[in-house]
């Protein structure tokens, strides 16, 4: 029997997904946090794990290099979700995608294009296009909170969980663009060709599937 491949990403998603896998009776053959191996077998002969960068999970699944994956809704929206099914909201790794800035930043930029610093370029463009608001995007890869402080941007579009990072940097959230959680995604071809095993895994991930 060929193995099914499940794509996960190190960090928050892996931390939140491993207990769900354990509830379904699935444990990695080696601890992904202690190992540099990126392809890991599991206690189930027919299932292996890929350990990826969070933003690469939809790409591996869309191309069929992984049959299934776990990715944040933020990453899925930014990717566009082509060639993917999204059958299950896992309700883990929850946070919000927000517009944030220094107090008064929106009013200050009212009469000119808003300068938006973010790594979520696609999401930010869509959000402001729907409002007919002109913007200028500044693409960043991290430490977004610095941008308004040093005058690089009027606002940021970033993820917020506890709000501690915004608060520590004197920023406030102005608008929530989207509530975010991790989703199980499935390659469209795998869903057809491996329907039974894929469905069984989806069921195993359901919150009350294992009592």
Nearer to ligand ATP, 41 or 55 (CB): 55
Do 137 and 124 contact (CB within 8 A), yes or no?
yes
Single out the segment in contact with ligand PRP by CB under 6 A; choices: 18-26, 140-148, 179-187, 198-206.
140-148
Least Å distance, CB 114 to ligand PRP, is 20
Do 89 and 206 contact (CB within 8 A), yes or no?
no
Do 65 and 5 contact (CB within 8 A), yes or no?
yes
Told to check if 95 binds ligand ATP by CB under 6 A, we report yes
Told to check if 169 binds ligand PRP by CB under 6 A, we report no
Nearer to ligand ATP, 24 or 51 (CB): 51
Bridge partners, 39 (sequence order):
50
Told to check if 55 binds ligand ATP by CB under 6 A, we report yes
Q: State the residue for tokens 């299950």.
A: 88
Told to check if 161 binds ligand PRP by CB under 6 A, we report yes
Binds 164, which of ligand ATP, ligand PRP, none (CB < 5 to 8 A, cut-off by type)?
A: ligand PRP
Q: State the residue for tokens 């794990």.
A: 49
How would you write 84-133 as a 3-class SS string? EEEEEECCCCCEEEEEEECCCHHHHCCCCCEEEEECCHHHHHHHHHHHCC
Single out the segment in contact with ligand ATP by CB under 6 A; choices: 6-14, 43-51, 188-196, 199-207.
6-14
Told to check if 184 binds ligand PRP by CB under 6 A, we report no
Do 83 and 187 contact (CB within 8 A), yes or no?
yes
Nearer to ligand ATP, 93 or 153 (CB): 93
Told to check if 181 binds ligand PRP by CB under 6 A, we report no
Nearer to ligand PRP, 34 or 164 (CB): 164
Do 160 and 98 contact (CB within 8 A), yes or no?
yes
Catalog residues that contact ligand PRP under the rule CB under 6 A: 142-143, 145, 158-165
């Amino acid at each position: 029997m060929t193995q099914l491949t499940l794509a996960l990403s190190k960090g928050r998603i892996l931390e939140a997904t491993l207990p769900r896998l354990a509830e379904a009776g699935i444990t990695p053959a080696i601890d992904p946090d202690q190992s540099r191996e990126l392809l890991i077998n599991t206690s189930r002969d027919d299932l292996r794990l890929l350990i990826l960068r969070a933003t690469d999970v939809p790409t591996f699944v869309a191309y069929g290099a992984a049959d299934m994956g776990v990715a944040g809704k933020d990453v899925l929206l930014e990717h566009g979700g082509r060639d993917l099914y999204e059958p299950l909201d896992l309700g883990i790794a929850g946070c919000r995608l927000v517009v944030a800035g220094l107090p008064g930043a929106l009013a200050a930029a009212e009469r000119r294009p808003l300068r938006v610093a973010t790594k979520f370029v696609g999401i930010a463009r869509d959000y402001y296009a729907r409002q007919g608001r002109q913007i200028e995007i500044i693409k960043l890869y991290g430490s977004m909170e610095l941008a308004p402080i040093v005058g690089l941007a009027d606002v940021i579009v970033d993820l917020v969980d506890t709000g501690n990072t915004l608060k520590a940097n004197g920023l406030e959230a102005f608008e929530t663009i989207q509530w975010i959680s991790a989703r199980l995604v499935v390659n469209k071809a795998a869903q057809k060709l491996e329907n039974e095993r894929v469905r069984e895994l989806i069921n195993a991930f359901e919150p009350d599937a294992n009592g």
